[in-house]
Structure 1
């Protein structure tokens, strides 16, 4: 009798464990089906509009192509709608993105655009997916917008001062002036002070990559040229560029090599 009770108890335990295991498996499968191939997509950073309601962005916007900058720390979304700048708060939960209360500047737009349509899409509750670098928004099962990672060049305006340099101490490397950078968006040129001499160079942005060079500079002699030489060497060539309203970062091989902060005078 005791053996029978023990056997029955063992069978109950095995059955319970089996049910628990199946339940966990079902839960995992369910989560996987909700977000195929990944968990909730990481939406942070700058996104450039690729298509809107099935039409290429380049055919709908003859001037600026809309951008979407998402600050996940502040829960803020901002960018350019094709003519006017916009900003607001957003919600992002269980893969659903919505920004219904956007504020916008009121500039008169000459070039053809679909800014109102773009804002309408952002204000809806959209299912987010991220596949092969393309961020897709779907509303009621229909693709309403596609974005690709990029740089919102409007964020580059103004003058920036160097905050950090790879493997270097700013105070030790730059005893006279700390380097600065500013961008001429119309001419695709950048320049500033490299620590002693003025420098300038052409640049090209493709996706999130900026290619700088050749760098030309004045030829003043300064007591400490090590920092300037290091700075111009690092900034030359291809880097991954990240830009926000207050910081610009140049990275190489996944490591930040130069960071600049807005120079507020």
Structure 2
């Protein structure tokens, strides 16, 4: 009788653990970066060009991201493999518009669980199972070879570039076989090397990028492009098919279109 009780207790414990631990497929889906597109049923809009996002690293057991102004960080419970949103911290920078961040943090603070929707998005749920936030995949992995060829520079640091009819559109061209970068800022030619794969398949840098030295009436685009290129650390493909480059903090700093 005693042995039966022990076995029953063990089975109950196993069932409890299984119910509280996400399925393997869901765990693998979670292990990525996600844009926070809705909070408490309201669409998230940004004025900075940087969408709030959250990333989950199951291997290191950490949560990280950007809430609209500040960096956010947290942990994943090693037993349940579920994010612990209630113990998340953030940096303390003040921004002109804190409304977006307030909505994002309030929604995350309510989140107790998550589920994957049919369209591939993630829903964060409160303790009653109500959806408090919607997450969309931030980017898809892409092979380095897919970068081959010329791309128009669509955005730098989240902002569209100012262009004029009498200037060549800013663009970058990648030779993935020779690991060479070329292009134009709209004023000067760009040239340099590419270092890819040093810190994983998504890592990339253009540390040696340089330009010709012609002076133009407006150098803002060029200054922003070269500053961004010097900060690039990783890449991926956005939902709209654009090529995205991120800095070492995970912020989107360059967006290129075919």
Q: TM-score range by the shorter chain?
A: 0.3 to 0.5
More strand by proportion, 1 or 2? Answer: 1
TM-score by length of 2: 0.47
TM-score by length of 1: 0.46
**Pair member with larger Rg:** 1
